[in-house]
Amino acid sequence: MNKRMFGLAAGFAAAMMIVGAAQAKTLKMAYDADPVSLDPHEQLSGGTLQLSHMIFDPLVRWNKDHGIDARLAKSWKRIDPLTVRFELNNGVKFHSGNELTSTDVKWTFDRLKVSPDFKGLFTIFKELKVVDADTFELVTTEPFPLVLNLATYIFPMDSKFYTGTDANGKDKGALVKHGNTFASTNVSGTGPYIVTSREQGVRVEFKRFGDYWDKKSPGNADNVILTPIKEGPTRVAALLSGDVDFIAPVPPTDLDRIGKDPKVDLITMSGTRIITFQMNQKRVEAFKNPKVRLAIVNAINNTGIVQKIMKGFGTPAAQNSPKGYLGHDASLTPRYDLGKAKQLMKEAGFEKGFSITMMAPNNRYVNDYKIAEAVASMLSKINIKVDLTTMPKAQYWPKFDEQAADMMMIGWHSDTEDSTNFSEFLMMTPNKDTGKGQYNGGNFSNAELDKLTLQSQGMTDEAARIKVLKSIEGIAYAEAAFVPLHWQDLAWAAKKGVGAEAILNVMNFPYIGDIVIK
Amino acid sequence: MGPPLWRSHVCSRRITIDYLVFAGQRLLQATLVMFVISLIGFSIQDNLGDPLRELLGQSVSEAEREALRDEMGLNDPFFVQYGRFITNAVQGDLGTSYFFKRPALQVIADKFPATLDLVIGATLIIVLISVPVGVYCAIRPNAWLARAVMGISIVGISIPVFLTAIFSIYLFAVTLGWMPSFGRGEDLVEIFPGWKTGFFTKDGFAHLVLPCVSLSSIMLPLFIRLIRSEMREILESEYVRFAWAKGLAPKRVWFLHALKNTMLPVVTVGGVQIGTMLAYTILTETVFQWPGMGFLFLEAVNRVDTPLIISYIIVVGLIFVVTNTVVDLLYTWVNPTVKITGRGR
């Protein structure tokens, strides 16, 4: 009798488990790469931030409309030109069970300040002042408009969990770029997911965190399996065959195919990464003449490049700031006019043209080498003969640093999601001591632009700041500081019923915690 | 051209002083080759690109980069770096992978079983198909089936592996839905400590089929053709004619007398082809997202993970050198009529 009862109970339990398993929803996703480390401060990269949004939560985060939403910080207020005060949500638990307090935020902030990758962004901050358990202040050295933009990078870590020494006697909080640290393989955040297993380069498995603080989150994926699939065609095949539910990025060659497939949804957005060519004025005397630079911009049909080479998978650009950024000036439009370009070359005294060298990577940006080939042939129309070399990105970047060719390609995404970042790194007069113009391989220099860029960095009045940012773009446009090509589009694809569209944004941080699977 | 004499007359197999001297020379050569491989492997690292680009974000200042470069010893002169490398290398330490943050050799060892699964699967396909088919084509050279096989094999040799791989994924995984599209699957069995294989589970086996077929697609036609032509040569030889004249049964002549002697050169070629096979694993593993050594290597190149790249080169070099040395030693032992070089005979 007893035995039978036991058998029944066991059968019932097993049946419940099967029902439970049927209800547990698993999201299988494939990206082109998996995160380098579980330490959110080891590398400033898209991969790290995407992971951080799963296992941590930021103080605030970007929404679809380029606005800022509250996350762990429920409110904030500027209390003086140098200080913004934040209030934390109550009752937020880390995966370890510890409760989130201002001390954790301070610990995280101090760690960011020494992280090789992040400290550049955080130099403007003097300190993080703890007011009480739920309140803290971010204090800057001078008035700073982008406090919230940078707060999107603060993903509070569990300071108690990361304090002490690990099995090897090393500090658990240690941050090492190329070393096996406690934080690179162990994690305790406040995020919607816990890492349950990880084989680097093969798969990462996540489980929904039972005590997740955000009870309003609609997310219903109980388990997530992230598999890196490097090859585009294989990634697409994995989606179409149903082996995975969600992929990113979608290779441009497969956009048509995926768009037409009734089993999957294709989601595309105009991105924020600008692709450009820089004209090195130190190497080529002629590039010092604004007329020659204007002629080059006029000779390059970047709208045509987007249509023909990018197959529409991009937005033709005439400035750095994409739509939605404060500095974006809608009146600056692409200018392709071969007649005008020839005229300008004639006026500059280069009717017969000249020869230049050009370099571009061949595996960094979408269709990078094809774009370079097209630009080279377009320049031949105004008698500029181009000797083009393309190479893998690993070899390209050292060449870029050496400024090894007269025209070089670079794509740029603003880490702060703000216009100033473009001018600070790409257009300000290069200066080794201040680090300004670090990627200005064209050696473009304009005193007014330098002044406005520095000014914009300290303006907290948004309306006035927008004017300054727009005038920076205006100067770059008039002077043809560089050759703007296009903003690369973003593309994801998901099985029908996976509510991917709602959680995607132009920053390419899929908020997996909020994904709803039907 | 008739077959070389040694095929029919296998002589004495005594280990002589000459043989020991030869073996010693061969081992010395192998060591020297390994040393040269390490030097070449190490010297190309400067041309692979800057590892810091992959390690650091875009906003990191030049001073920071320099500091890290110093810390990692990348600014030291070449021979200082090489000296440090070789000192550690002879102690079995080939450096720590930048990406995996673990000893590079250990990372490679972890990925080795996946590649081994693939190589074993492909080898089985090649052996099980090429021998009967090759023999058939040799015995019945004029049959339409044999002609068809020969025709198809030419096409097979000419189609690149990655094309076969992508095509088979689209046909069998996407269109027909019979096979999984990527990876090794989740159901693996550990047969030795550290060696998990997919051969003994349904899921693991299903994942093996397409990659193994793709990997074998180049070598299979090659071996069919090789076996066919070797076998045809043997069938023309004196002792086979003698066997026929003796009135032996056809099966006995074909499979005992002829096939045995066909296999000697085929096995030798097979040993050398292991290298080619390893090269093709890079392509196959990349297309199928197969977590093996080949894919690891390609990724390491993309990430400029120099310690891992050098370790891979050395490990693969070692596999080559060891197989070649062993094949040479066995060959000379089995067949002493091959001239032992440097003895002036």
Is B195 part of any domain? Answer: yes
The identity of residue B202, as a single letter, is: K
> What does the pLDDT read at residue A10?
53
Q: Is the ipTM of this complex over 0.95?
A: no
Query: For residue A485, which of A309, A267, A282, A287 has the smallest C-alpha distance?
Result: A309
Q: What is the pLDDT of residue B7?
A: 43
Place of tokens 């969600």: A246
Q: Answer whether A398 sits within 8 Å of B291, measured CB to CB.
A: no
The yes-or-no verdict on residue B10 having pLDDT over 80 is no
Q: Where is mean pLDDT largest: A17-21, A373-377, B34-38, B145-149?
A: A373-377
Interface residue B210 vs chain A (CB under 8 A): no
A140 CB within 8 Å of a chain B CB:
no
Beta carbons of B10 and B335 less than 8 angstroms apart:
yes
pLDDT digits (tens, 9 = 90+) for B157-180: 888 888 888 889 989 988 888 988
Confidence of residue A57 (pLDDT cuts 50, 70, 90): very high
The answer to whether residue A473 scores a pLDDT higher than 80 is: yes
pLDDT above 70: residue A175: yes
Q: Fold for A25-245+498-518, please state it.
A: D-Maltodextrin-Binding Protein; domain 2 (3.40.190)
Mind telling me how many Å the CA of A36 is from chain B's nearest CA?
7
- Long-range contacts, stretch B265-274, CB < 8 angstroms, 24+ apart: B265/B230, B266/B223, B266/B226, B266/B227, B266/B230, B268/B327, B268/B331, B269/B226, B270/B223, B271/B323, B271/B324, B271/B327, B272/B323, B272/B324, B272/B327, B273/B219, B273/B222, B274/B119, B274/B319, B274/B320, B274/B323
- Token pair 């042939």: residue: A377
Domain around B155: 105-292
Q: What is the mean pLDDT of residues A252-266?
A: 90
Confidence of residue A7 (pLDDT cuts 50, 70, 90): low
Assess if residue B79 is contained within a domain: no
B173 interfacial to chain A (CB closer than 8 Å):
yes
A 200-229 near B (Cβ less than 8 A): 200-202, 227-229
Q: Please check whether residue A97 touches B, CB under 8 A.
A: no
What's the pLDDT band for B270 if we cut at 50, 70, 90? confident
Interface of B with A in 179-198 (CB under 8 A): 180-183
Which residue of chain A comes nearest to B183, CA vs CA?
A: A202
Mean pLDDT estimate for chain A: 91
Q: Which of A234, A242, A396 sits opposite B289 (nearest CB)?
A: A234
pLDDT number for residue B274: 74
Weakest-pLDDT range from A9-13, A245-249, B30-34, B101-105: A9-13
How far is Cα A403 from Cα A397, in angstroms, rounded to an integer?
9
Provide, as residue numbers in chain B, all residues whose Cβ is less than 8 Å from the Cβ of A43: 55-57
> How many angstroms away from the CA of B320 is the closest CA of chain A?
27
- Pairwise CB contact (< 8 Å): B299 & A116: no
Among the partner-chain residues A202, A237, A435, the one whose CB lies closest to the CB of B173 is A237
Distance from CA of B98 to the nearest CA of A (A): 5
Comparing A220 with A18, the larger pLDDT belongs to A220
B70 neighbourhood in chain A, CB within 8 Å: none
Round to whole Å and give the CA distance between A442 and A165: 48
* pLDDT single digits (tens) A421-462: 999 999 999 988 887 898 999 999 999 999 999 999 989 888
Contact B289 A229 (CB under 8 A): yes
pLDDT at B101 over 80: yes
Q: How would you classify the pairing of strands A354-361 and A384-391?
A: parallel
Q: Who's near B258: CB < 8 A, 6+ residues apart?
A: B231, B234, B235, B240
Tokens of B114: 């996946």
pLDDT at B52 exceeding the cut of 80: no
Q: Which residue of A has its CA nearest to B57?
A: A44
Closest partner residue to A231 (CB to CB) among B287, B302, B304 is: B287
The pLDDT of residue A387: 96
CB pair distance less than 8 Å for A435 and B61 = yes
CA distance A322 to A411: 13
User: Domain locations in chain A?
Assistant: 25-245+498-518, 270-489
Q: What is the DSSP string of B78-132?
A: HHHHHHHHHHHHHTT---B-TTT-SBHHHHHHHHHHHHHHHHHHHHHHHHHHHHH
* Pick from A120, A242, A363: CB nearest B59: A120
CB contact under 8 A, A363 and B302: yes
CB of A243 within 8 Å of a chain B CB? The answer is yes
The pLDDT assigned to B59 comes to 66
- Grade residue A501 by pLDDT with cuts at 50, 70 and 90: very high
Partner-chain contact A233 B169, CB within 8 Å: yes
Sort out which chain A residues have CB atoms less than 8 A from B99's CB and list them.
Answer: 36, 200
pLDDT at B15 over 70: no
**B313 in a domain, yes or no?**
no
Residues A108-159 have pLDDT tens digits of 999 999 988 888 889 899 999 999 999 999 999 999 999 999 999 999 999 9
Does the CB of B252 have a partner CB in chain A at under 8 Å? no
What are B177-223's pLDDT values in tens digits? 898 888 888 878 888 877 888 888 888 889 999 999 999 988 899 89
Report yes or no: A183 at the B interface, CB cutoff 8 Å.
no
Rounded mean pLDDT, A292-313: 94
Token look-up 């970042």 returns: A421
A242 touches chain B (CB under 8 A): yes
Q: What is the share, in percent, of chain A residues with pLDDT greater than 70? A: 95
Mean pLDDT of chain B: 82
Class of CATH domain A270-489? alpha beta
Judged by CB atoms closer than 8 Å, whether chains meet at A398 and B53 is answered as yes
Of the candidates A187, A212, A239, the one whose C-alpha atom is nearest the C-alpha of residue A52 is A187
pLDDT of residue A370: 95
How many domains does chain B fold into? 1
Q: Is B187 inside a domain boundary? A: yes
Residue B345 predicted with pLDDT over 60: no
**Interchain proximity A233–B286, CB inside 8 Å:** no
* Confidence label for A1 from pLDDT (cuts 50, 70 and 90): very low
Closest CA to B100 of A184, A52, A187: A184
Does residue B77 register a pLDDT over 90? no
Shortest CA distance from A114: residue in chain B: B64
- The domains spanning A25-245+498-518 and A270-489 adopt the same CATH topology: no
CA angle A199, A203, A209 (to 5 degrees): 95
B60 touches chain A (CB under 8 A): yes
| A70 contacts chain B (CB < 8 A) | no
- Model confidence at B6, in pLDDT bands (50, 70, 90)? very low
pLDDT value, residue A20: 46
Long-range Cβ pairs for the range A193-199 (8 Å, 24+): A193/A54, A193/A55, A193/A224, A193/A512, A193/A513, A194/A55, A194/A95, A195/A38, A195/A55, A198/A38, A199/B291
Residue A394 has pLDDT above 80, yes or no: no
More confident call, B296 vs B265:
B296
Alpha carbon distance A355, A380 (integer Å): 9
Please give the average per-residue pLDDT across A458-482, as a whole number: 94
